[in-house]
Structure 1
């Protein structure tokens, strides 16, 4: 059956779906640019006719999904998009965004994982998944991590200003922080912190930074393993898993 032979109701539904898809395409295109876009530019970027783009923008403007600059008559995303995303953003905190991801890591590696948020002074475990193995590291939810050589704290310290770090060293009674400071550039460059027996002779752990929409480090993915169980393969594999998990969570948080 050709489109012309279809009942009017079916043709209307098809037209509505097409209009919705085109509207989404315009919104997605605007989201890619921090600068104002004109009708001609949007038509070229979406592949739609200028008259179609103009009609779409008019409708979106009525619902505050786009805003038109009064001087240039060009468009940007409007506050209505924030209202739509608000309920989702409010619930996409670190635990909600990352809980499923760290559970997948534990299921695959059989090792303990955790999400640690940064308070500006120490880390706080907000989610934890125990290894199913008999010998394991357990970090219950609510545990505060303040040891500066811990993997998650290395990640947080690497993001701090020098002045902030000095205050933390003083608070922790660390008179000679050179062994901590010396590794922070490497932590920042490679993208993860590593604790190979530095806080506990029996602990090996890796942590990678989770960032918010503004690029700030707000938490870390932590994988902890008894050192006696570590292998060369695990030493190569687990940091990559932590970094990838942190990247996925960051993306879910809008980063």
Structure 2
């Protein structure tokens, strides 16, 4: 005998039982997906904070999502407790927190940024005649994930797996120029170490340099990490804008003038944008 019975109200399945002797076969029948309003609103709030890489005011967030300011505030403060949202003390505006960055990194961990960046790195190496590096952030360090060395005998060398301090040179600047990254770095006990006489150790001046780097889309290093060496870096981003890595060109000051360094910075930005588009295409193919 086939019998059906509805489970308690609010349950997502109903059951069908068929008795065969002393045995009962239990079969679950999934019903239509239900949307949980509070979770839906929280997801839409996070989506707003993903846009444009800027801080958002409470009123404009509520307007974008189409909910009352009080409701938006309660949801944002709850997300803040879980590290998914940060509130900027001076302005009271909101931005994505480090918890959201960790989730994004986990989501994109299967994307091989090296494959996406390889052709652009090779082009940069051939055009500049200098060493090209790919770095990924690991907590308070940058790990060298790929090295493209030029054919010329005299060049800056690095090895895959080498770890650099997060505050070192242009690599550090592009990662710390991400919204909220420098503040989080300092709160976690990070400091600005003096690697050379040219290293900037004043936090306020360094923060201003990060704003310039964010506006340009690349950061420069004029003998700030190694004496006699200049470098430029730009961020490679995933499909939702998360920083997956950074591409860097590094060369000796004898060959890289300050004017040439700016041009290399622009070339790094273009290469990073190309690599970011490849990551996006690969992600779209994987999701299809």
TM-score by length of 2: 0.53
Deviations 1:86-140 (A, max 9, x none): xxx8874111111122012112221100111122322111100112222211121
Please tell me whether residue 163 in structure 1 is matched to residue 189 in structure 2.
no
Please tell me whether residue 117 in structure 1 is matched to residue 136 in structure 2.
yes
Which of 221, 246, 251 pairs up with 1:225?
251
Q: How does 1:35-184 map to 2 (within 5 A)?
A: 92-161=111-180, 162-168=182-188, 170-172=189-191, 176-184=202-210
Provide structure 2 residue ranges, at least 5 long, that are not aligned to the other structure. Answer: 1-107, 194-200, 282-288
Please tell me whether residue 201 in structure 1 is matched to residue 220 in structure 2.
no
| Cα shift at 1:147 | 4.9
Q: Which residue of 1 aligns with 2:213?
A: 187
Deviations 1:218-244 (A, max 9, x none): 210100010111236523421121011
Q: 1:115 & 1:187 partners in 2: Cα distance?
A: 18
Deviations 1:179-238 (A, max 9, x none): 422311101001111001111121100000111111011210100010111236523421
Q: Which residue of 2 aligns with 1:238?
A: 264
Which of 186, 197, 212 pairs up with 2:238?
212
| Cα shift at 1:247 | 0.2
Q: 1:238 & 1:143 partners in 2: Cα distance?
A: 23
Structure 1 residue ranges, 4+ long, deviating more than 6 angstroms after superposition: none
Change (3 A) 1:143 1:154: same
Look up the SS of the partner of 1:171 in the other structure. coil
Change (3 A) 1:90 1:230: closer
Larger helix proportion of the pair: 1
Assess if the C-alpha contact under 8 Å between 1:148 and 1:180 holds in 2.
no
Change (3 A) 1:91 1:107: farther
Q: 1:176 & 1:131 partners in 2: Cα distance?
A: 35
Look up the SS of the partner of 1:159 in the other structure. coil
Q: 1:233 & 1:184 partners in 2: Cα distance?
A: 20
Change (3 A) 1:114 1:173: closer
TM-score by length of 1: 0.59
Change (3 A) 1:236 1:173: closer
Larger strand proportion of the pair: 2
Q: Which residue of 2 aligns with 1:3?
A: none
| Cα shift at 1:160 | 4.5
Taking only aligned residues, the RMSD between alpha carbons, in angstroms, comes to 2.3
What is the total number of aligned residue pairs between the two structures?
166
